[in-house]
Structure 1
Amino acid sequence: MMSDVKEEPLEEEGPLEKREGPSEQEGGAEDEAGGVTEVAETNETAMERDSGDEIVGEKPARKMGVPGVVYLGHIPPRMRPKHVRNMLGIHGEIGRVFLQAEDHSVRKKKKKAGCNARSFTEGWVEFRDKRVAKNVAASLHNTPMCARKRSRFHDDLWNIKYLHRFKWTHLSERLAYEKTVRQQRMRVEISQAKRETSFYLDNVEKSRDLARLRERKSRSGQPFQEPSWGFTQRQTEEEIQRGKQSRGQQGQADKSQRRQLRKAMAKTQEIEKKSQSNVSLLAKIFNARGKQD
């Protein structure tokens, strides 16, 4: 039986560069898609590296691209971050995904109406390569979210926009700022509620004290006088206009009286002047007659 088996000639191994060619092409294709690959090394190449010899023609691994962020303006009901990652992950490698939840007041109204589902209003998706993010935003905008008709998101359209020069740190800073503003608003509202509660309790205690004092005065037969608030009521608009009109009328009457008084004083001055001139004439006349006599 050993004699029936034919011996096949052994294939001669080619040079190292020819054997490494396909692996380099595959690695280059994956690099263009955004992945990172490592070229498989044979025992001979490993021995050569250990000896310190350099391999001619080996290409260095390409670096990861700059990440890009796209904005999702519409999030359908019952869509979660895992759905977004699964649907957009086929176009490129995805890093972080953030979906903004709906307002607390809207969620509270939905709970009262009997709907306990949580919805999102907008979202941000980070791609590892900004070129992929640009292509996704340009190709998927205003297109159906899912091609399958049985999918719950088939009737919804993508609303995607690439954010130029937008980084994930900008989003995190904005969210941190909104969180601090929300906390500050909550502190102000809580302090205002505390002040109102303390004012109400103080007034309740005062009213109880006044009721006890009134009962004590009524038992002893002494008159009880209610305490006054001790403030002046601001005038209404009608009262202000009425006061202006009355002051205007009174001012006009005063003006007419002052005018008449000035006229009367001017007349009396004229009469006095005339009387003084007549007295001088009479004095001259009578003095001259007395000298003649």
Structure 2
Amino acid sequence: MKKISLALRTRRKKNPWPYLLVSPSLFALGIILCYPIYRLIRLSFEKYGLSEIIAGKGTFVGIQNFADTFTDPEFWKILERTIFFTGGMVLVSVVVGAWLAHLMLNMSPILRNILNGVLILVWAMPQLVSISVWRWMFSFNFSIVTAVINSLGFEMDNHNYFVNTFSGFLIIGGCVAWGALPFITISIYAALTQVPKELLEAAEIDGANSRQVFRTIIFPILLPVYIIIISLSVIWDFQVFSHIWIFLDSRPSSEYYTIAIYAFQKSFGLSEYGMGAAISLIMILTLITITGYYLRQMMKMGSE
């Protein structure tokens, strides 16, 4: 048996076909992903403005762009704001998505199919259209939300919800979470259908209530799925750009800056492309740091 397994291992090592089949994908990834990242890293160590664009060459400044970014008090406020905003959106979307998934599990087939269809329609709606709908709902001149509030006896005609950053970020975060719900809900529902019914029936026989069943059986089984969903949600929500940009008419004030908006304004608003590249690189490293913990936990659970 040892000789057979050794021969199979040797044959696998000498077989070039798996590598040849994968090579086109690796080549495409290298062009699409690796080269832009290389250019981003290189640009982050250069002073690159309008004069450098005309000259066709940047001026190497070492870590000056990073030093200027880290010594800028505005950067730390924006980073803190981005982390809190991301955490809030991820928390709301995951909690509501998990709740909807559990509801789907206990629904009748007709209601489940209707909810599934609605979620798919939400997921299929283009992002620009969904943002425009939410923007219309809270518009200054005519808002359906304001009309409902007025019908309840409160006067809020021509109310600008985005003057206050708290209400503004609540609306923007709600739109982001609403767009993420279909993926989260359907993913968790699919995972719930794979939980062994024998374990649930045994827990019910032992007298466990629904909370105890979720805490001791369902959640430990679904933990890898939750880790993947949270990691993906953090990556998506951390780099939210178009929602803030469109809601605020492409003119967001500094109180609405997130890391993505800040990098864009530095690059294209002030023509400091080297600085914008440095901020973008910091953004990538921050994402890797935040999601790295969850990925390590998932790999640890997989090995166990």
Name the structure, 1 or 2, with higher relative contact order (CA <8 Å, separation 6+): 2
Bigger fraction of residues in strand: 1
Query: TM-score, normalised to structure 1's length?
Result: 0.19
Bigger fraction of residues in helix: 2
Higher Rg: 1
